[in-house]
Amino acid sequence: MTSQQKDNLFVLVKSLSKSEKRQFKLYVGRLGGNTDSKFLALFNLLDKLNTYDEKSILKSGIVKKAQLSNLKAHLYKQILISLRLNPLHQNTRAQIREQLDFATILYHKGLYKQSLKILDKAKNTAIDNEEKILAYEIVELEKVIESQYITRSISNRADELTEQAKQLSIQNTITSKLSNLSLQLYGILLKTGYAKNDKEYQKITKYFNDRMPDFKLSELGFREKLWLYKSHLWYSFLVQDFLTCYKYATKWVDMFLQNEDMISLNPVFFLKGYNYLLESLFYIKYHTQFKLALSRFEDTINNSKLLPNEDNVNALCFLYLYNNKLNLHFLEGTFKEGLPLVNEILLKIKEYQDRIDHHHIMVFYYKIASLYFGAGNSKKCIEYLDKIINNKSLEMREDLLCFSRILNLFAHYEAGLDYHLEVQIKNTYKFLIKMNELNEVQKEMIKFLKTIGDVYPSEFKKEFIKLHTTLKQYENDPYERRAFLYLDILSWLESKIENKPIDQIIQEKFKLLKR
């Protein structure tokens, strides 16, 4: 049986709003013969099902098993056509493509003047909205028509189109190179992670500089600048230069705020830029600016008419807003005050489960676990960490699994689960030594875990002091400090040494560093 998560048609049907379902039925019923069609019957059945069940579909008698695959493919296509016709999905980009299609039809019918008139209007709209790839495609069709039908309306028409094509081609080439660079840098981050030493820093820097295209900043348009800022941002993340991340994320967001029409056309890019801005501020612990930016971000997504009311946009708004709401509590050490967010997050995860990947859900679980740990509820912390540790699809996020296991160990210690603690120490130690590349903080954790099992409880404090002294030297190391962003090991050790709750330790630090 195909699962709900894996059946694309079922997920698509369940994603439709009431108005989209109504429009689909109107679209299907535009011809009387479709009202009893098999694909409409299948649509109605899938709409009623809570989970995808192939046996129920076959039992209904709508279709035989041999025909089911073709019927599902046909229904999928018809739903997409209906959605394309929906005014809610007719953004500027879709309207330009529609005009290009109309012009192409007119051209094939030999109505050259009408075709050129539509193309000229669509081209201007495309250029005004930074849709330069579409603009280039339009110019190329204009060149084809002009080469077959001489309008003589503009004496230098050939030169004008040639120059336009040349300029658009140059700009699109720069955009392509910058977008390729941005994607390649993101690929490096997923594959090898952040720079761990000077050698890796030099390698990444050379890679970045060698692939940066030549350009004059004054000649770049909105889209070229967007990819330029993204490339710089990913490079800065890779070398863990979070202050520069903040610089380019600010440029990214400000560019959208100064060109508000681009927000509705590129809402995902706008939201991602704002999220990177907040993430950068969190990493550099710039609390006042972070809190201000978070407040503005929440106001923007709650009140802005510029953001389209789309499932993907709404899912991203939830993802970025609540991740950063949690980060604010981590900065301030206000873990107990952050607990009411948990139920809100879990409800939203359920609502957007088909639009948020497993990785982001696991990150939420890790942050929820950290929230409970900071609030002193170790058993709830363990509950959420188990969801991560038992997840078999996180091989690519070794770092998340690593710190989940270490935090799990601390939580078992805090909960007084002595028998489980011994098992957790062995499991965590085995996991860490299997990791591909360990940073110094992780290596010290292995040494600690290797010896702590043989230490008497009365000697724990001495071992905590020893580990704290060792780890403290890495707190400001450019290649090691990121480990402390995942898990505030130092504050936990200090809480054990000073016999204070961890949230009190973090709040005291926050007051000293507050800016």
Residues 42-53: pLDDT tens digits? 898 888 888 888
Indicate if 176 and 231 belong to the same structural domain. Answer: yes
Going by C-alpha positions, the residue among 42, 232, 22 that lies closest to residue 224 is: 232
- Residue 266, domain member (yes or no): no
Indicate if 172 and 224 belong to the same structural domain. Answer: yes
Which parts of 333-394 fold into alpha helices (H)?
335-338, 341-351, 358-374, 378-389
Identify the domain boundary among 44, 74, 89.
89
Q: At what angle do helices 38-48 and 65-85 cross, to 10 degrees?
A: 80
Place of tokens 């560019």: 255
User: What does the pLDDT read at residue 397?
Assistant: 67
Residues 75-104: pLDDT tens digits? 999 999 888 887 666 678 888 998 999 999
| 72, 180, 338 from 77: Cα distances, Å | 9, 31, 44
Q: Which long-range contacts (CB under 8 A, 24 or more apart) does 415-418 make?
A: 415/378, 415/379, 415/382
Indicate if 78 and 99 belong to the same structural domain. Answer: no
Query: What is the span of the domain harbouring residue 209?
Result: 154-239
Indicate if 143 and 74 belong to the same structural domain. Answer: no
Sequence-distant (6+) residues with CB within 8 A of 186 are 234
- Residue 366, domain member (yes or no): no
Indicate if 149 and 196 belong to the same structural domain. Answer: no
- Residue 195, domain member (yes or no): yes
User: What does the pLDDT read at residue 396?
Assistant: 53
Q: Is the pLDDT of residue 475 over 50?
A: yes
Indicate if 128 and 162 belong to the same structural domain. Answer: no
Residues 152-174: pLDDT tens digits? 555 577 788 888 899 899 889 99
- Residue 122, domain member (yes or no): yes
Identify the domain boundary among 153, 172, 190.
153
Yes or no: say if 118 and 99 are a contact pair by the CB < 8 Å rule.
yes
Would you state the structure tokens that stand for residue 99, as one six-digit string?
Answer: 């005009």
Indicate if 133 and 106 belong to the same structural domain. Answer: yes
Residue 111 is classified by DSSP as -
Give me the DSSP letters along 65-80. Answer: HHHHHHHHHHHHHHHH
Residues 345-390: pLDDT tens digits? 999 999 888 788 888 899 999 999 999 999 999 999 999 999 998 8
- Residue 18, domain member (yes or no): yes
- Residue 28, domain member (yes or no): yes
User: What does the pLDDT read at residue 246?
Assistant: 97
Structural domains in the chain (count): 3
- Residue 507, domain member (yes or no): no
Sequence-distant (6+) residues with CB within 8 A of 324 are 275, 278, 279, 282, 290, 294, 297
Place of tokens 């099902």: 49
The span from the CA of 293 to the CA of 155, in Å, is 54
CB atoms closer than 10 angstroms to residue 269:
18
Residues 223-281: pLDDT tens digits? 999 999 999 999 999 999 999 999 999 999 999 999 988 898 889 999 999 999 999 99
Residues 503-514: pLDDT tens digits? 888 888 888 776
Residues 115-137: pLDDT tens digits? 999 999 999 999 988 899 999 99
- Residue 427, domain member (yes or no): no
Sequence-distant (6+) residues with CB within 8 A of 207 are 184, 185, 188
Res. 5 pLDDT band, cuts 50 70 90:
very low
Indicate if 104 and 135 belong to the same structural domain. Answer: yes
Identify the domain boundary among 186, 213, 239.
239
Going by C-alpha positions, the residue among 317, 324, 303, 328 that lies closest to residue 352 is: 317
The span from the CA of 371 to the CA of 338, in Å, is 7
The span from the CA of 145 to the CA of 115, in Å, is 9
